[in-house]
């Protein structure tokens, strides 16, 4: 077990508790409160509770005490066991039960660890002083390992006098970490350590070492004695000076001399331009240039150069100072400690002038070796000073190193992402981290992070800023996948292709917007086609098309069109993937016309089937209505009585409404005639119709002296008229005489002779 960093003290409990709880991380990675002697359950309530002890001693400016203890990777104990260890540790450190404290458990790939947040002010008013507490903590941790049966770890090194041997690399101070979190800039100490590590990586000469630092924007001052002996270097970065010993043991000349060669007889003269005296002369010259610049009358006078930055070198993050594009050598630009050639994305069909989503981030210019052997220019590589050991502020400091000073590997990833996005041009993307290790969990990075707990998607620029974090997750054992989210386009992915199947696809007229490879001989194509959001079954049709492509040419088990695929520039963590870097083979934004045509053909088929289905449905509805009417009438005929009477009354009302609507002169004999025809059509017998007319014809008995005879003759005339109409229809069908004859005959139907009463 180890203390993760120096014990810290502070003024605000809420900040320390938020850090321990780490609410901004995914839920699975947040801290879990496992113990202590307080009743609060979250950062807010615990901070209020800590306020009780703070109020007892307002003279104590820093009442917060914070430390973290980590188990070695692979060692696991229960939360209850961790609480026992923490209680024992706090007792050994000199805290009593009167001192409020809480323990937060974190569990990640590097191992279990707890954060201890305590108050230095006891509830009895006592104050914990804690002299030499970091050294005491180290010794107590070693005793705890033995007392609680934990795995024994190597403790700090002590010299012959019992003093702690300084580490090879000094970590950023608490103040530097806090400033980095506030400003968003990498701590200068950490940044300088990384640049020096890169500069000394291949055992350069002292001249090469100093020139590489200068090219990276670091002022290196050689401590040269008058005899020519080199006693080491001091460094200055961003206006802050450091001795080698302030950076850690590895940066003092005692250790540095084992990694940087210095031949006094041959190197002294060349190195003198980096001596303290030479640096002072450069500073004086720079001051004089500043004075001349102030005196210049031209508004666009040239900006004076930094003394440590010669013409043609590259300043930190600024590019070549003479205005030309930096990093022209493709070997130097693509060099990487994470895969070399495999990490370099191919330009394919993307033009060199295409800047994509971000400004061009240069590689640091190489320095030609001085041995004259024709070696390739050396590119300063990048190594993180610390492994990702914790979450919260300390981890965000590590993020700054990757986000602001991208190493060649991250530059290669950035360039690959620039090409991939320039090819896809989706407005947003889903990010998925797929675990290839048993102790990691696959998750959608945006799940639950959007408004109202919905999924959050990311723009291309946001993903560019996440590349340092994605790089670390990739190294931990995650595969990095993207899914374009675009309401206007489909992205049809054809997976597990070979060069031969890609050729078949192209010969069939399909033009992928992206072809990439994630393992030896395995290719993946993406075809972009317009989407019609209002088209019925649009998603289903796109699924059918992409499944067809994959059955014929790729992965027969491929599920659908909204499907993740690998983010370019990241390594394949699948078993057997051999950490192969996903590379773009061909890229160039295009809409695949043939695939768009195939989608339209599918849509047209759907439209035709839909129309046919609608027509069939209407026909079914008509037939159902006719059948229902027939059943209703059949019921009336069967039931007789009141139902037949109602049918007759309805017929009279219908005919009278027709007469009134047409503006005809009312003739009740004609009305009776039409009603009789209507009842004949319903299938009623002559006797029934005669009875109905006699019973329901308005004022029949006033109009006719013999109503029964009138009704008989009216019913007979109506039946004859119906027979005549049937014969006329048959004749018209036979002779195909058209509608003129029919109209003539039908127009005379109301004027045919009617039986008179």
Please write the tens of the pLDDT for every residue from 82-92. Answer: 999 999 999 99
The CATH number that domain 640-751 falls under is 1.10.1240.50
The pLDDT assigned to 328 comes to: 33
Q: Has residue 1 got a pLDDT over 80?
A: no
3-class SS at 677? helix
Q: Which of 131-145, 357-371, 580-594 has the lowest mean pLDDT?
A: 357-371
Return the residue matching tokens 């005899």.
227
Distance of CA 433 to the CA centre of its chain: 10
Gap between the Cα atoms of 516 and 533, Å rounded: 28
- DSSP structure class, residue 163: P
Q: What is the pLDDT of residue 79?
A: 93
Q: How many CB atoms lie within 10 A of CB 84?
A: 16
Q: How far apart are CA 57 and CA 128, in angstroms?
A: 12
What is the average pLDDT across 569-586?
Answer: 86
Please check whether residue 495 is in contact with residue 555, taking contact to mean a CB–CB distance below 8 angstroms. Answer: yes
In percent, the amount of the chain with pLDDT more than 70 equals: 75
pLDDT level of residue 311 (50, 70, 90 thresholds): very low
What pLDDT is stored for residue 101 in this prediction? Answer: 96
Based on the number of CB atoms within 10 Å of its own CB, is 372 exposed (0-12), middle (13-18) or buried (19 or more)?
exposed
Average pLDDT over residues 190-206: 87
pLDDT at 637: 53
DSSP state of 304: P
| 8 A C-beta contact, residue 271 and residue 222 | yes
Contacts of 56 (CB under 8 A, 6+ apart): 121, 122, 123, 125
Query: DSSP 3-state assignment of 172?
Result: coil
Helix (H) or strand (E) holding 687: helix 686-696
Mean pLDDT of 678-701: 89
| Rounded Cα distance, 529 and 525, in Å | 13
The CATH classification number of 423-599 equals 3.30.70.1790
The more confident residue out of 380 and 489 is 489
Mean pLDDT to the nearest integer, 142-163: 74
Confidence at residue 387, expressed as pLDDT on a 0 to 100 scale: 31
Binned at pLDDT 50, 70 and 90, residue 285 comes out as low
Of the candidates 328, 404, 321, the one whose C-alpha atom is nearest the C-alpha of residue 366 is 328
Closest CA to 194 of 366, 364, 376, 407: 407
3-state DSSP call for residue 598?
Answer: helix
Q: Mean pLDDT in the chain?
A: 77
The angle subtended at Cα 550 by Cα 546 and Cα 551, nearest 5°, is 115
Q: What is the structure's pLDDT at 154?
A: 67
Is pLDDT of 155 > 70?
no
| CA 351/CA 348 separation, integer angstroms | 8
Assess whether the region 2-165 and the region 423-599 belong to the same CATH fold. Answer: no
Q: Which residues, including other chains, have CB under 8 Å from residue 215's CB and lie 6 or more apart?
A: 313, 314, 364, 365, 367, 380
- The residue behind tokens 């209505």 is 625
Cα angle, residue 676 at apex, residues 674 and 682 outer, rounded to 5°: 110
pLDDT band at 65 (very low <50, low <70, confident <90, very high): very high
pLDDT of 737 reads: 53
pLDDT digits (tens, 9 = 90+) for 603-659: 888 888 878 888 888 888 888 887 876 676 666 555 555 778 888 888 999 999 998
Spatial distance between the Cα atoms of 632 and 627, rounded to a whole number of angstroms: 9
Nearest to 243 by CA among 192, 306, 279, 203: 192
More reliable by pLDDT, 689 or 752: 689
The structural domains of the chain, with segments of one domain joined by +, span: 2-165, 170-294+304-324+362-405, 423-599, 640-751
| 164 has pLDDT over 90 | no
Q: How confident is the model at residue 180 (pLDDT cuts 50, 70, 90)?
A: confident
The answer to whether 251 and 228 are in contact (CB under 8 A) is no
Q: Look at residue 63 and tell me whether its pLDDT is greater than 90.
A: yes
* pLDDT over threshold 50, residue 243: yes
Q: Can you say whether residue 374 is alpha, beta or left, with left for phi > 0 and alpha for psi between -120 and 50 degrees?
A: left
What does the pLDDT read at residue 322?
Answer: 34
* Structure-model confidence comparison of residues 526 and 199, the more confident one: 526
Residue 627, pLDDT score: 80
Query: What 3 state SS string does 447-474 have?
Result: CCCCHHHCCCCECHHHHHHCHHHHHHHH
Phi and psi torsions of 186, nearest 5°: -65, 140
The b/e string for 322-351 (b: 16+ C-beta within 10 A; e otherwise) is: eeeebbeeeebbbbbebbeebbbbbebbbe
Rounded distance, CA 321 to CA 315, Å? 7
Q: Which residue has the tokens 């790939």?
A: 109
pLDDT at 331 over 50: no
The token pair at 538 is: 């649009």
CATH architecture of 2-165: 2-Layer Sandwich (3.30)
Q: Is 626 helix (H, G, I), strand (E, B) or coil?
A: helix
In contact, 485 and 457? CB cutoff 8 Å = yes
The mean pLDDT value for 532-557 works out to: 87
What CA dihedral angle connects 252, 257, 260 and 261, to 10 degrees?
150
Q: In angstroms, rounded to a whole number, what is the distance separating the alpha carbons of residues 360 and 414?
A: 9
Where do the H-state alpha helices sit in 508-557?
538-553
CA distance 277 to 650: 121
- Name, of 115-119, 145-149, 519-523, the range with top average pLDDT: 115-119
The residue among 221, 208, 308 whose CA lies nearest residue 266 is: 208
Residues in the chain: 757
Q: Which of 392, 372, 461, 397 is nearest to 191 (CA)?
A: 397
| Cα angle 261, 267, 273; round to 5 | 115
527: helix, coil or strand?
strand
Place of tokens 């107590």: 140
Please give the pLDDT value at position 313.
29
Strand partners, 230: 224
Q: Which whole number is the average pLDDT over 480-505? A: 93
pTM over 0.85: no
Rounded-to-10 torsion of CA 633, 635, 640, 644: -30
Across 28-57, average pLDDT: 91
Please report, to the nearest 10 degrees, the dihedral formed by the alpha carbons of residues 731, 733, 736, 739 taken in order: 90
Mean local confidence (pLDDT), 298-324: 32
- Per-residue burial over 2-31, b = 16 or more CB atoms within 10 Å of its CB, e = otherwise: bbbbebbbbeebebbbbbbbbeeebeeeeb
Q: Are 218 and 189 in contact (CB under 8 A)?
A: no
User: Is the Cα dihedral 668, 670, 675, 679 positive or negative?
Assistant: positive
Dmax over CA atoms of the chain, in Å, equals 155
Question: Which has the closest alpha carbon to 411: 349, 356, 470, 343?
Answer: 343
Q: Report the Cα 593 to chain-centroid distance in Å.
A: 28
User: Per-residue confidence at 422, pLDDT binned at 50, 70, 90?
Assistant: very high
Please state which of the ranges 256-265, 304-313, 455-464, 604-613 shows the lowest mean pLDDT.
Answer: 304-313
Q: What is the pLDDT of residue 471?
A: 85
Question: From the CA atom positions of the chain, what is the Rg in Å?
Answer: 45
Determine the Cα angle at 480 with ends 516 and 201, to 5°. 90
Q: What per-residue confidence (pLDDT) applies to 6?
A: 79
């Amino acid at each position: 077990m180890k203390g993760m960093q120096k014990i810290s003290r502070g003024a605000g409990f809420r900040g320390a508790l938020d850090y321990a709880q780490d609410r901004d991380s995914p839920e699975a990675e947040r801290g879990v409160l496992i113990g202590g002697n307080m009743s609060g359950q979250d950062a807010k309530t615990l901070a209020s509770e800590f306020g009780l002890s703070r109020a007892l001693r307002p003279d104590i400016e820093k009442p917060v005490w914070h430390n973290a203890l980590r188990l070695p990777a692979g060692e696991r104990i229960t939360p209850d066991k961790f609480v026992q260890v923490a209680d024992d540790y706090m007792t050994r450190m000199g805290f009593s039960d009167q001192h409020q404290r809480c323990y937060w458990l974190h569990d990640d790939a590097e191992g279990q660890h707890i954060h201890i947040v305590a108050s230095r002010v006891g509830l009895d008013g006592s104050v914990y002083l804690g002299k030499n507490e970091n050294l005491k903590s180290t010794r107590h941790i070693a005793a705890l390992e033995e007392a609680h049966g934990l795995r024994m770890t190597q403790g700090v090194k002590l010299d012959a006098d019992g003093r702690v041997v300084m580490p090879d690399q000094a970590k950023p101070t608490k103040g530097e970490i806090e400033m980095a979190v506030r400003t968003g800039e990498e701590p200068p100490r950490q940044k300088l350590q990384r640049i020096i590590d890169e500069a000394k990586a291949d055992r350069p000469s002292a001249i090469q070492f100093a020139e590489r630092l200068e090219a990276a924007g670091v002022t290196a001052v050689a401590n040269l004695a008058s005899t020519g002996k080199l006693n080491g270097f001091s460094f200055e970065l961003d206006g802050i000076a450091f001795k080698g010993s302030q950076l850690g043991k590895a940066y003092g000349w005692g250790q540095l001399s084992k990694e940087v060669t210095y031949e006094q007889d041959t190197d002294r003269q060349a190195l003198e331009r980096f001596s303290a005296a030479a640096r002072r002369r450069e500073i004086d010259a720079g001051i004089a240039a500043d004075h001349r610049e102030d005196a210049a009358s031209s508004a666009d006078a040239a900006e004076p150069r930094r003394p440590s930055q010669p013409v043609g070198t590259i300043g930190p993050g600024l590019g070549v100072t003479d205005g030309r594009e930096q990093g022209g050598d493709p070997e130097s630009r693509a060099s990487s400690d994470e895969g070399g050639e495999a990490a370099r994305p191919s330009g394919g069909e993307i033009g060199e002038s295409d800047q994509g989503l971000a400004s061009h981030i240069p590689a640091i210019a190489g320095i030609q070796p001085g041995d004259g052997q024709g070696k390739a220019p050396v590119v300063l590589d990048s190594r993180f000073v610390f492994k990702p050991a914790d979450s919260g502020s300390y981890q965000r400091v590590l993020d700054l190193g990757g986000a602001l000073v991208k190493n060649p590997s991250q530059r290669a990833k950035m360039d690959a992402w620039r090409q991939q996005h320039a090819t896809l041009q989706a407005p947003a993307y889903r990010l998925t981290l797929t675990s290839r290790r048993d102790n990691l969990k696959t998750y959608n990075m945006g799940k639950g992070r959007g408004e109202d707990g919905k999924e959050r998607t990311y723009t291309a620029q946001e993903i560019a800023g996440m590349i340092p974090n994605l790089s670390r997750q990739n190294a931990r054992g995650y595969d990095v996948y993207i899914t374009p989210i675009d309401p206007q386009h489909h992205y049809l992915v054809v997976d597990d292709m070979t060069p031969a199947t890609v050729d078949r696809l192209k010969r069939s007229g399909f033009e992928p917007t992206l072809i990439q490879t994630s393992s030896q001989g395995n290719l993946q194509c993406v075809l972009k086609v317009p989407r019609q959001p209002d088209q019925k079954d649009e998603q289903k049709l796109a699924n059918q098309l992409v499944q067809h492509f994959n059955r014929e040419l790729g992965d027969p088990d491929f599920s659908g069109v909204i499907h993740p695929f690998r983010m370019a520039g990241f390594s394949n963590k699948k078993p057997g993937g051999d950490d192969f870097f996903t590379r773009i083979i061909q890229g160039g934004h295009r809409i695949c016309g043939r695939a768009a045509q195939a989608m339209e053909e599918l849509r047209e088929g759907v439209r035709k089937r839909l129309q046919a289905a609608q027509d069939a449905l209407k026909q079914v509805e008509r037939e159902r209505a006719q059948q229902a009417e027939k059943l209703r009438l059949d019921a009336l005929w069967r039931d007789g009585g009141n139902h037949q009477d109602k049918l007759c009354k309805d017929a009279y009302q219908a005919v009278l409404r027709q007469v009134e609507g047409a503006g005809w002169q009312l003739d009740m004999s004609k009305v009776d005639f039409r009603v009789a025809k209507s009842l004949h059509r319903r299938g009623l017998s002559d006797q029934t119709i005669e009875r109905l007319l006699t019973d329901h014809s308005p004022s029949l008995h006033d109009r006719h002296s013999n109503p029964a005879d009138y009704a008989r003759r009216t019913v007979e005339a109506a039946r004859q008229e119906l027979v005549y109409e049937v014969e006329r229809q048959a004749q018209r069908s036979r002779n195909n005489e058209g509608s003129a004859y029919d109209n003539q005959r039908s127009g005379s139907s109301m004027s045919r002779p009617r039986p008179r009463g």
